[in-house]
Structure 1
Amino acid sequence: MLCNRSRKSLLPISGSRASLPLLRTPGNSLLRYSSVRHQSNRAVIYTENGDPTQVLRTLTYNPLPPPQSGTVNIKYLLAPINPADINVIQGVYPAKPTLTSLVEGQPNVFVGGNEGLGQITHVGPDVSGMSVGDWVVMTKPQAGTWSSARNVGAGDVLKLPRVDGLEEVHAATMTVNPPTAYNMLNDYVALQNGDWVVQNGANSAVGQAVIQIAASRGLKTLNLVRKRPDIGVLTEKLKALGATEVLSYDDLADRSLTQKIMKEWTAGKGFKLGLNCVSGPDTTAMARLLGQDAYLVSYGAMSKQPLSLPTSLFIFKNLTSAGFWQSRWYKMHPREDKESLMKTLVDLVAQRKLQAPEHEIVTIAAGDSDEVAGQKVRDIFGKISQGQYDKKVLLKFETTQ
């Protein structure tokens, strides 16, 4: 097969191109990437599950054709890297991406990324309520947001209201962490002004959203974090967001303190709602602070340990333990609910009650070859795995015109 060196494509092996890097597809065929490019789009891809620092590549592909009926073309402005994205690439997450065709005539690939902010560039026939220039976010899981431009179904995106204060970072991180926080605070217990909520992993992105959304409703929060040398700095940071109290997990071993929490802070009633993303012994200790008819809602297990709860909490306090997954919420709720949720969160941003997460934007330059860009992406994931980023990382793709 002959290849045109003036075009960038995903090329099969040929003897004349033996120096180019190889990528094995799910069907066990090999692909080769050209180092010459001038087409406009790029995506972070993989063809098999594994360590992101090993399996991720970047692929340049042609400009999108006009959208078909019921679809829109979008360009992605920003796309975050969330912990679940890494689990998806590793193949250990329940949500699975689908194989996608980016280059005609070449094997399909997986495109990374679940969350991101898109801007509509073209509107297909039979699409109403959307216009060129609108900002949209994804409601279909594993949408392949680590790319510069995609064609998507109009029913798989939601238009975001454009309000003062809504910046790209807000919008790009709007569909995972803030909705998780909002729904857990609303769907299980009828909380009233002054009620207490306790959570672990309070410095996580969801935890910080919980603090802010709870504060906007007049709720009080006890926020548990891992003990660290700079816990005073972290405490002040969380209190600046609206946290009522911040303690370490180790503090819960002090029975006099836990008695004070139960007796003085909650007037002997205990906490009505506990939010868990850690599990293990620290969550067992936290659960003892819950009051009568309380809910413990789990949305993660960062400790990678089982959730263990005393039977007495169920018998004598009528504890209910439930799990929450935002992807399931999107699947089970109609479009009207999703639109209402986005509007609520955008309104909180407009009211300065919900901040964008601390972040770092990493740009994949248009002038880089796919080989260089791919190595840059793998290096990002290497730094994430080593804990070198203490902020949310967002990808931004420059494109050629």
Structure 2
Amino acid sequence: MRYKVLVVDDSTFFRKRVAGFLNQDPGLTVVGEAKNGKEAIAMAAELKPDVITMDIEMPVMDGISAVRQIMAANPTPILMFSSLTHEGAQATLDALDAGALDFLPKKFEDIARERAEAISLLQQRVRALARRRLYSRPVSSLSRLREADRPALRDKPIPPRAPVTGGESVRLSRASGKRYAALAIGASTGGPVALQTILTKLPANFPYPIFLVQHMPGTFTSAFAARMNNLCQIKVKEAENGEPVQPGCAYLAPGGKQMLVEGTSRACRIRIIEDPAHQAITYKPSVDLSFASLSRIYGGDVLGVILTGMGADGRDGCHSLKQRGATIWAQDEKSCVVYGMPQAVTVAGLSSASMDLVDMAANILLEMSV
């Protein structure tokens, strides 16, 4: 099966470049090219692509407006191309809130060491979003889901899958009674909206520190943290080296670096570093590194949550936490944009429960007795 892709950009050169890269993949075929948002809306309705790649700044109609209208009329997984600037970060976050599912820097040299690696990453991300269409229809913004909206996530059957450890999706009816000292959440593709869905439901008096690891470029994490801080009752900030950890504050790992903790569980400080010596780390920030660091400080008194994302980052970190008695949860397949990271944790037998995104915040509050 070849997934159909619509490429949208006002630059003829960039459209041809992206189309050429995608057509090199035997599982993808570019079925159309649009030069502005208005054309994109019409071609999305006519061609019914499995994925759309979308530029942000275009004449006639910009990408964010196009995303909003496409998601209202013909919901389709959309990958945004963004500049790695503060303004580009803000616009990309607006696009994600409008319903786009993922983004990549528009300059391919910003995402890979070499051309072949950049092409492969683009193809992987598009294929991942295309497969998402097989599972469920994307919604305009998961951050605005209500209980009544949940059937929209289940309007197509889930293909049969071999049983995995973790069982069916659950909504807790009572807490386990376990003691906690921290909440840790890791995410990648689809994570910004998923994190917003959870964090906006936490009360201002949340009594534990929260550690967030979201795969994002460095210029994006400060903008994302500021946006979350404006939307949430809890405090959300980009983590800074040396700052003391406080309850009721969510610390977002800065893009391009690693977030660790040091000290003791009663007197903990943030440590921001480049990659550890003699270690080749794929992700910056890395869920594995942050979670392993938390296990050394907080032991088993951590609730670790793995949300939507490609790959397996978080599996090793969750193993470190689990060995010390921590509780690990994973987002369920139905509500994930990409069921990669949660699946890795679940298949490894590390997750004690799989949960729908819309239930996650309520389950966290119940389990942590907030």
Question: What TM-score bracket applies, with the shorter chain setting the length?
Answer: 0.3 to 0.5
| TM-score, structure 1 as length reference | 0.34
Instruction: Please identify which structure carries the higher strand content.
Output: 1
| TM-score, structure 2 as length reference | 0.36
Structure showing greater radius of gyration is 1
Q: Highest relative contact order (Cα 8 Å, sep 6+), 1 or 2?
A: 1
Instruction: Please identify which structure carries the higher helix content.
Output: 2
